[in-house]
Amino acid sequence: MASLTGTHRLTSAKRIVIKIGSALLVDHDTGALRRDWLTALAADVAQARGRGQDVAIVSSGAIALGRRRLGILSRQRLEDKQASAAVGQIALAHAWQEALAAHGLICGQILVTLDATENRRQYLNARTTLDTLFHLGAVPVINENDTVATAEIRYGDNDRLAARVAQMISADCLVLLSDVDGLYTADPTSEPDAEFMPEIGHLDDRIMAMAGVSRSGMGVGGMTTKLQAAQIAVGAGCNMVIADGRVLNPLGRIADGARCTWFRAQATPRTARKQWIASALKPNGSLTIDEGAVRALRRGRSLLPAGVRGIEGDFDRGDAVWVRDGSGKVLARGLSAYSSVNARRIAGHKSDEIEALLGYRGRDEMIHRDDMVLERMEEEQPT
């Protein structure tokens, strides 16, 4: 029964992020790329695209591939890893391009740093680039930009990175393909009584304590980073599954009900994102809007610069702001696509005048409706 529901979670998702560990893509003994596996996975991706699903791939393997090419298999210093990533990422991207092209799919490489997911300005940018790629039918292939990130500003593991990407693009399904088939109550290799957990509805301390140590020879993520990824994903309204990726066509296998562990999201990505905007961010300023814009907002539309009459406070692009009507009453809060300086320049103007006013063609909306939450309760009014 659980597998049937799991099948549905995968095949009916609108947007899927697939995280692929190094051990799946790169042969442990030879350090060579596992082309047959990649070819089969590309077929899985093509099938999902055929169902109309957006697919993003978070692929590890740059360090494992580069290390071999540089002949530094046993060296582990950060600079060796970074040099390996510089060399290996080219091979990795090329392999993906070739494998996906065989199915007529175009892929785009995105190398992210911790900043791209944690800094709101960069986050908005990365989100828009990914959205644009999806609308154009391309498959983003994502990895951490390992070559420049130092230890403190690095994810280091692609499990959490993939979960952040899933959150950033409001994905509703995150697939972690690994060399384990899911979560057990204890490490199954040393504890014969370890029980398999097919479905987790609530990530409590008991579940978090089940993280054993990594058994994978190449990747960095053990069960700990997978459970941290699950926390991020389910909190963002995204179902997550840990599945054995060592077989050919692992996605097809999950869809057929193969054994795996599902972590159930409690909300939809849209609700979770709106909750984040409504509660986690402190507005740095206000936009006062005219009657026409008030009506547009009530109908669920975005806020255009033309409807903005006044701007208060200093804020950056991507910061949260209040949206008020002419009497000062708060109607909404949202993420401004423009800084307060630029918002002042384009307020009251049509969107097609933005380029002439700012010197670049920015977003049409001052606040996109996906980045805005309407206020409902009078008592939430700030003073």
Task: Establish if 113 lies at the interface with ligand GLU (CB under 6 A).
Answer: no
Applying CB under 6 A, which of residues 194, 220, 267, 330 lies at the interface with ligand GLU? Answer: 220
Q: How far is the CB of 240 from ligand GLU (least distance, A)?
A: 16
Closest to ligand GLU by CB, 20 vs 343, is 20
Task: Establish if 221 lies at the interface with ligand GLU (CB under 6 A).
Answer: yes
> How many angstroms separate the CA atoms of 175 and 329, rounded?
44
Task: Establish if 157 lies at the interface with ligand GLU (CB under 6 A).
Answer: yes
C-alpha distances (whole Å) from 104 to each of 6, 56, 99, 101, 113 are: 28, 16, 9, 5, 29
Question: What x-and-dash track marks residues 128-147 binding ligand GLU by CB under 6 A?
Answer: ---------------xx-x-
The answer to whether residues 159 and 229 touch, using CB atoms and an 8 Å cutoff, is yes
Question: Hey, which residues does 263 pair with through a beta bridge?
Answer: 200, 240
- 3-class SS shares of the chain: helix, strand, coil, % to 5: 45, 20, 40
The answer to whether residues 110 and 58 touch, using CB atoms and an 8 Å cutoff, is no
Task: Establish if 158 lies at the interface with ligand GLU (CB under 6 A).
Answer: yes
Applying CB under 6 A, which of residues 61, 222, 237, 362 lies at the interface with ligand GLU? Answer: 61
> How many angstroms separate the CA atoms of 88 and 84, rounded?
6
Residues in contact with 166: Cβ distance below 8 Å, sequence separation at least 6, in sequence order: 17, 174, 232, 233, 236, 238, 240
Closest to ligand GLU by CB, 217 vs 313, is 217
Q: How far is the CB of 217 from ligand GLU (least distance, A)?
A: 11
Q: Are strands 54-59 and 139-144 parallel, antiparallel or unpaired?
A: parallel
Task: Establish if 288 lies at the interface with ligand GLU (CB under 6 A).
Answer: no
Number of residues located near ligand GLU, criterion CB under 6 A:
16
Q: How far is the CB of 109 from ligand GLU (least distance, A)?
A: 12
Closest to ligand GLU by CB, 63 vs 251, is 63
Q: Which stretch binds ligand GLU (CB under 6 A): 181-189, 216-224, 302-310, 350-358?
A: 216-224
Task: Establish if 63 lies at the interface with ligand GLU (CB under 6 A).
Answer: yes
| Tokens matching residue 57 | 């791939």
Closest residue by Cα to residue 195 from 206, 203, 187: 187
> How many angstroms separate the CA atoms of 286 and 330, rounded?
9
**Contact set with ligand GLU (CB under 6 A):** 21-22, 60-64, 85, 143-144, 146, 157-158, 219-221
